[in-house]
Amino acid sequence: MVRADLEKTAGDVAAMFDEVAEGYDRTRARLWLGRMASWGAHTAAAAEAGPGCRMLDVAAGTGTSSGALLRTGATVVACDFSQGMLAVGRRRRPGIGFVAGDGHQLPFADGAFDAVTISFGLRNVHDTRGVLAEMLRVTRPGGTLVVCEFSLPTTPVRRALFRTYLRRVVPVIARRVSTNPEAYYYLGESIQAWLRPTELATLIGDVGWGRVRWRPLDGGVIHLHTAVAPSFSTDPHA
């Protein structure tokens, strides 16, 4: 069984997700007690998804996060580099355009999308800054970025409870329902080593996104970051 480490080497991460693919949706639903639907709806609302909107969901996996975008009437492209996750997604979620691709080098033209999202994916990439820059490249000026990601709550009691959940409960559930339980040790490790919400906000701004905002969901176990691709004036006298 493949288990990525915090180096997040592309081959290891893709192989690990290939191995969890078949049981991914089931494990996801059990681990997070059905809260994923609500987090997806918040992401879609923050991205202002709706009919006529061209959306890209990066690191979309089996398309669970993309499904929430599709339900708004938007046109959704789901991009991921795990062939196993994509195969399950294509089988289960017709209506979503699944495309193989690495977030570090997205196979799309500049400004191709009105909004780009990444849910529970940015924490898994090797070069966070590089992926945020690629997402900016493929977003039209004035388009939106939404990052939905786990975080450690700031209040000590909640943080301790969430850590205990990650260390003690997640591996037990994963052993029962996942096709690669080892991967769920990586899940806990990667969440605990992940950037704080303020650090991620700074990084998003450094890459060139504007109007960066963030807010906690569910007591701070999730943070939603939003930002806007800058609009450059074509008037040389402006």
Ligand X SMILES: C[S@@+](CC[C@H](N)C(=O)[O-])C[C@H]1O[C@@H](n2cnc3c(N)ncnc32)[C@H](O)[C@@H]1O
Residues near ligand X, by CB under 6 A: 10, 13-14, 17, 28, 59-61, 64-65, 80-82, 85, 102-104, 119-121, 124-125
| Cβ closest to ligand X, residue 82 vs residue 151 | 82
CB of residue 29 to ligand X, shortest distance in Å: 10
Cα-to-chain-centroid distance, residue 210? 19
Both structure tokens of 216: 């906690």
User: Which residue has its beta carbon closest to ligand X?
Assistant: 61
In contact, 192 and 166? CB cutoff 8 Å: yes
Please report where in the chains the tokens 């930002």 appear, as a residue: 227
CB of 100 to ligand X, least distance (A): 9
Nearest-10 Cα torsion for 194, 190, 216, 144: 80
Cα 220 from Cα 225, distance rounded (Å): 12
- Specify the residue, 80 or 114, whose C-beta has the smaller distance to ligand X: 80
**Burial of 109 from C-beta contacts in 10 A (0-12 / 13-18 / 19+):** exposed
**Residue 85 Cβ, how far from ligand X at the closest point, in Å?**
4
Question: 94 or 236, CB closer to ligand X?
Answer: 94
CA 238 to chain centre: 37
Q: Using CA atoms, how far apart are residues 56 and 75, in angstroms rounded to an integer?
A: 9
Distances (CA, A) of 15 to 9, 186, 194: 10, 13, 21
Minimum CB separation from ligand X for residue 121, in Å?
A: 4
Q: Residue 97 Cβ, how far from ligand X at the closest point, in Å?
A: 15
Q: Give the nearer residue to ligand X in terms of CB position, either 59 or 116.
A: 59
Structure tokens, 224 = 């939603």
* 185 token code pair: 């040790």
Least spacing, CB of residue 45 vs ligand X, in Å: 16
Residue 82 tokens read as: 């795990």
Closest CB to ligand X among 93 and 220?
Answer: 93
Residue 128 Cβ vs ligand X, minimum distance, rounded to whole Å: 10
Minimum CB distance to ligand X smaller for 11 or for 141:
11
> Nearer to ligand X by C-beta: 90 or 210?
90
Looking up tokens 């939905």 gives: 148
